[in-house]
Structure 1
């Protein structure tokens, strides 16, 4: 009886050790990675950047099995304006009207599942949290060696970012800001 328990315990340790060593954590180089955003309104658009605070992919045999990415919302910048207009828009984006960085300094994406589509492309399912609101999101991620890239479309109204949204306010006319904004993400590992 003791032999069976000992053998069973040893087998469990070997299985756990094998599983633990097949998963690889690929840390993102936050300095070399970029996130570019674009937001549109009736009369035009604006764009800029947001910096990653941290991030990693969990890999098993060259397949994505998880991951987490944290964006530092205090780093949101506007790249299509300069001077006073740039400062005003950046301040407004950081205010409670938009991302409320004082109360919500980070946004986070947690990968909950991934499926290989071949040729280094993965269909990703995850949970995106902005302003303490979490909603599922799906997108494709292309991985090539020590880099990965994706394009995301995010509906800001789901995350309580309502300023100028025609979904919540009537009669905005040409002051309407569209709910969807775009993120182009380039990751380096």
Structure 2
């Protein structure tokens, strides 16, 4: 009886974990890289204001979430009228911050994510080897921004909903929260799908992201 109960409980945990992953908001379907968009001669260049721009992230286990930010190093967007024709953003992978923890706990998680801990360099982003990531625009259809996202040495095409607005010489691009599957970029540490790990100890494959970019002429 006890053994059967444990089997049922374990199965329920796996099912709950799987359902939670599939219900992620605006879950991205990562596909093969596409040709980057090119701008017309009439396009105006907006330069990313790195100090005013940020990416917010949420990573999770079944029992807890961790939140944080990561900075843009720079980038540009080419706009014709109020239509984005092309662009690219460089992400500073060494700028990862953890906002739900404090002190040593926050620093330990930051170091693990960045891969600056001996023996754990390849668990997540291996920043010493891959100090930047990149997003290159491949298109904008209605409110869906499409682009090639490169993490470590893997490039995948993704699309997610954005809102673009203008105020004088300033352009603001803000995404809705969207979800990528980190394993699409080969980041498999702690994944229930790639490691022999109990479901309630696994790290979700999903990372939730929100992009908030300010750029000026």
TM norm structure 1: 0.83
Give the structure 2 partner of residue 165 of structure 1: 191
Matched, 1:56 2:81: no
Give the structure 2 partner of residue 16 of structure 1: none
Deviations 1:87-142 (A, max 9, x none): 11111001121100011111100001112x3xxxx322111000110011011221
Give the structure 2 partner of residue 42 of structure 1: 62
Secondary structure of residue in 2 paired with 1:35: strand
Q: Look at both structures and tell me which one has the larger radius of gyration over its CA atoms.
A: 1
Deviation of the 1:172 alpha carbon: 2.7
Cα distance in structure 1, aligned partners of 2:197 and 2:108? 24
Matched, 1:134 2:170: no
Unaligned runs of 5+ in 1: 1-18
Cα distance in structure 2, aligned partners of 1:123 and 1:48? 24
TM norm structure 2: 0.73
Alignment RMSD: 1.2
Q: Per residue, is there more strand in 1 or in 2?
A: 1
Select 2:108's aligned residue among 56, 77, 88.
88
Secondary structure of residue in 2 paired with 1:178: coil
Give the structure 1 partner of residue 173 of structure 2: 148
State the aligned residue count.
Answer: 165
Select 1:68's aligned residue among 84, 88, 99.
88
Unaligned runs of 5+ in 2: 1-39, 116-121
Deviation of the 1:171 alpha carbon: 3.0
Of structures 1 and 2, the one with the larger relative CO (CA 8 A, separation 6+) is: 2
Q: Which runs of 4+ in 1 moved over 3 A?
A: none
